[in-house]
Structure 1
Amino acid sequence: MAIMFVRAQVISRGAGRSIVSAAAYRHRARMMDEQAGTAFSYRGGASELVHEELVLPDRIPDWLKIAIDGKSVAGASEILWNAVDSFESRADGQLARELIIALPEELTRAENVALVRDFVRDNLTSKG
């Protein structure tokens, strides 16, 4: 069975969005946007989060491996997105692409997680 629907949207500074705020919302966590000096907290919706993981390509810079080693998924995500935010300096910089994926409700949660992992591996991380 395949994923039924995927929609991609860009998270960009030009639209006035913070990538760290977006990550905090997705992880239902508190994160600090180092560039803006602003904390974002979305812990109130933690019961809505049924699964989280951070998947990176096999070849990532050593500094990132060291920085995220031993961190929670949300903690590693906060480090990653702050690094992206500081690297991309353009006022209209495109910081990330977010994928909205509709999953088959006939599958179990574990089967849907495996389906998304396969999709991410085949279409994203395997390409670096």
Structure 2
Amino acid sequence: MNRIKQLRNEEGLTQKGFAEAFNKYIYENNLTIKPINFSVVSKWETQKSSPTKATYEALADYFDVLVPYLQGATIYEILDPLEKSIYSHVTEAMDRAFNDYALLPVQRERILKAIAYSIDNGEFN
């Protein structure tokens, strides 16, 4: 699931409108990330590219969600606050481990979904 598109649509914004609003957010918060345009948003939403770590963090702040949720974590919505904290820490640790390998974002998401599926189905006891 592409959460950027979902959250953008929930705000009632076009890709161009979201790019403008996000660029304003970047400017107002003195963030050191590059401004975006609608074609960047389109590439994120079609998974032809993905945001940098810093941009994911800014997007998460903008949408008031955590990065794992924004990246498509499947079980994140049903977790309590403590579990969300643990999940975020585990996801960050896995991201650091994944950086040692040349994995595409979609491959990372599949691995995380497989782990979540295994946990949900009691395969880790």
- Settle same-fold status: TM greater than 0.5: no
Bigger proportion of residues as strand? 1
Bigger proportion of residues as helix? 2
Give TM-score, length-normalised by structure 1: 0.28
Higher relative contact order (CA 8 A, sep 6+): 1
Give TM-score, length-normalised by structure 2: 0.29
